[in-house]
Amino acid sequence: MELACPTCTSARCLFSVLALSLILLASCTSSPIGSLQADSLSRRSAHLKMDQAFLLINNELHHEKLAIYWSSDQCHQCLYQPLTITDPTKRRVSDIAVVDTRHSITLQINDTSGNIEFCRKHYRFREFGNYSLWVKANHSNNKNVTCEIIINQNPGYTNLPIVVAFLIYVAVFIALAMGSYVSRLSSVQNWLYKQINPIETDRLINSELGTPSRADLCSQYAHQVTWNNVPQRLRSLDTFRGLALIIMVFVNYGGGGYWFFKHQSWNGLTLADLVFPWFVFIMGTSIHLSLTSMLRKGNSRWKLFWKVLWRSIQLFLIGLFVINDNYCHGPLSWSEIRIMGVLQRLSITYLAVSVLELLFAKPLADPQNRMCFLLQDVVLFWPQWLIILFLEAGWLCLTLLLPVSGCPTGYLGPGGIGDFGNYPNCTGGAARYIDYLILGEGHIYQHPSSNVVYKTTVPYDPEGLLGTINSIVMAFLGLQAGKILLFYKNQHKQIIVRFFTWSLVMGVVSAILTKCSTNEGFIPVNKNLWSISYVTTLSCFAFFLLLLIYFLVDVKNVWMGAPFFYPGMNSILVYVGHEIFENYFPFKWKMQDSQSHVEHLTQNLLATSIWVLIAYILYKKRVFWKI
């Protein structure tokens, strides 16, 4: 019986505590609290959905019909979209409009012919709110028109469930941390151990009066030898991987229905856009550490190549046949199956970076015998860097110079209503064109995030072929982090300084490429394109985040990496499992109100917590799924 049993027991209580807490979250945040209850009733009567508000149009222009258009601030250089038409001579249902609340919008009020623009109004509506737009004339000739938006009924604070959930999780983890600390106290351990097994305790106490047996000494010595021979594993890497994975699971499950937990429509970043590149980054770090370790053990490069190839094939096939939306639509259709995807891109990236490492990997000299010079951890691996720069040059040439029929050369826009509707079918430019030529339109992702804001109608794959080049670059930057960890092994200050330097360099490159703007730079940050600025920006974040986790977990040992460490140790199982069982209980159930953030957030957080618990149990059972 383990002495640390109380710690394990308290950790296993995580699921039940979180489940109870999240149920309380649902009951507390949905209870009648002033305007929240009235707001909920108003929302249901108006049939509003999430990210929508209710707008009543009051037209006081005499005998003048109004055509009202709108455009989101998130939609760069977009055509105005029709909202409603009003008639002052009669009150109609069309005078009631539903407006978008994800971002600030601009309302344009014209006459129905479109020749006269009366006014424009820029406003940020709040979700489930009730507003009125008053269009008034200061003179009888309707030439001087004013537009005013007033709040009929204060919208509820829809972000309240996030605050409550955050406080619940903080309280749970503080309680678990305190319980773990108390259970490690010797006095508490002795008392608990005596309560659990008093006979064994008495035997241990009595054995102190005699001489330990030879068997005991041998057992103790064997344990010591085994412990000393176990290679030290960097918990920070598994913690980093687990953090990226758990956020990925949460946003894939819906992120509580909040727009900022979903992928950005085109240029820019949300939380959901961070995690996949981080996962690719830490995969590159692990590639260097694992291959270096196996080469030191005497494994041949050719043998390791076949192992890498087989693993890549397995990843690709799992992504193609197991995690694929087509199986939900009946028998597998070869004419419509999506060829690329998350695991498919990971498999190609893993294969490319691993082969690059096997071709040029060299044994590291002893730290005491090394020549110290600037960028030594880069210069020594110049052939790899040369190939990576060549690949990046290829991406730039294809992206900016490849002619695409009907589209401007070097087009990086979303198409649809973007760019004032001039290039509706040019979504992604060369990236989509290459996928269309090689994969075929039926094998490309049919519902890209760009159709939410930019109303695109053509398929586009955010995990397409051209973007995979920059995925390889991202993994190689993670590989560089692994080189730093080995090159400066046990030199914590050197590792931290170089992580910070790399983060700073990547940040400067991103600032130059983007001109510190979302849409006006040379190459904007774009997850759909996996643009080079997207790679440098996320690498900047990744180096800095890894620096923090490495410092806290492996240097200072003030954090053991929980709970992210456990799913990080079983990342393939958690990712594949959460995709396969997404629509099954207890990960999903039928909601009473499908437009409630409270229910969505409760469901998504509980499902994510269950996977953390599963990963923890498997870790304690020493069950790890590796391919």
Q: In this structure, are residues 572 and 242 in contact, taking their beta carbons and an 8 Å threshold?
A: no
Reply yes or no on whether the pLDDT at 30 is more than 70: no
CA-wise closest residue to 536 among 502, 496, 501, 507: 507
- What is the average pLDDT across 187-201? 62
- What is the average pLDDT across 593-609? 90
Domain ranges for the chain: 5-31+159-212, 35-153, 235-363+373-580
Query: Which 8-state DSSP code applies to residue 267?
Result: B
C-alpha 36/C-alpha 218 separation (Å) is 69
C-alpha 557/C-alpha 65 separation (Å) is 69
Task: Tell which phi-psi region holds residue 557, choosing left (phi > 0), alpha (psi between -120 and 50) or beta.
Answer: left
Q: Quick one: tokens of 218?
A: 């041998």
C-alpha 284/C-alpha 200 separation (Å) is 48
- Measured CA to CA in angstroms, residue 224 lies from 2, 347, 385 at distances of 17, 39, 43
- What is the average pLDDT across 192-209? 51
Dihedral over Cα of 226, 231, 236, 240: its sign: negative
Q: What's this model's pTM, rounded to 2 decimal places?
A: 0.84
Give residue 39's pLDDT band: very low, low, confident or very high (50, 70, 90): very low
Q: Look at residue 368 in the predicted model and tell me its pLDDT.
A: 47
Q: In this structure, are residues 118 and 139 in contact, taking their beta carbons and an 8 Å threshold?
A: no
Q: Look at residue 373 in the predicted model and tell me its pLDDT.
A: 53
Of the ranges 24-33, 365-374, 564-573, the best mean pLDDT one: 564-573
DSSP 275-329: HHHHHHHHHHHHHHHHHHHHHHTT--HHHHHHHHHHHHHHHHHIIIIIS-GGGGG
Q: With residue 162 as reference, give the H or E element that holds it.
A: helix 160-183
Q: Look at residue 106 in the predicted model and tell me its pLDDT.
A: 94
Provide the 3-class DSSP secondary structure of residue 46: coil
Phi then psi for residue 131, to 5 deg, are -130, 165
174: Cα within 13 Å, side-chain hemisphere: 6
- What is the average pLDDT across 125-146? 81
Active site residues: 263
Provide the 3-class DSSP secondary structure of residue 119: strand
Place of tokens 């390889």: 472
Bridge partners (DSSP) of residue 153 are: 130
CATH number of 35-153: 2.60.40
610: Cα within 13 Å, side-chain hemisphere: 19
What order of strands is seen across the sheet that includes strand 52-59? 96-100, 52-59, 130-137, 145-153
Reply yes or no on whether the pLDDT at 627 is more than 70: yes
Q: In this structure, are residues 474 and 540 in contact, taking their beta carbons and an 8 Å threshold?
A: no
Dihedral angle at the C-alpha atoms of 455, 458, 459, 461, nearest 10 degrees?
A: -70
- What is the average pLDDT across 349-363? 90
Higher-pLDDT residue of 141 and 478 is 478
Counting beta carbons within 10 angstroms of the beta carbon of residue 403, is it exposed (0 to 12), middle (13 to 18) or buried (19 or more)? exposed
Tell me the per-residue pLDDT of 359-380, one tens digit each, with 9 for 90 and over.
988 765 555 445 455 677 788 8
Q: In this structure, are residues 500 and 544 in contact, taking their beta carbons and an 8 Å threshold?
A: yes
CA-wise closest residue to 419 among 463, 455, 461: 455
User: What does the mean pLDDT of the chain come to?
Assistant: 82
**Whole-angstrom Cα Rg for the chain:** 29
Lowest mean pLDDT among 132-141, 193-202, 298-307: 193-202
Alpha helices in 488-590 (DSSP H): 492-514, 532-549, 565-569, 571-580
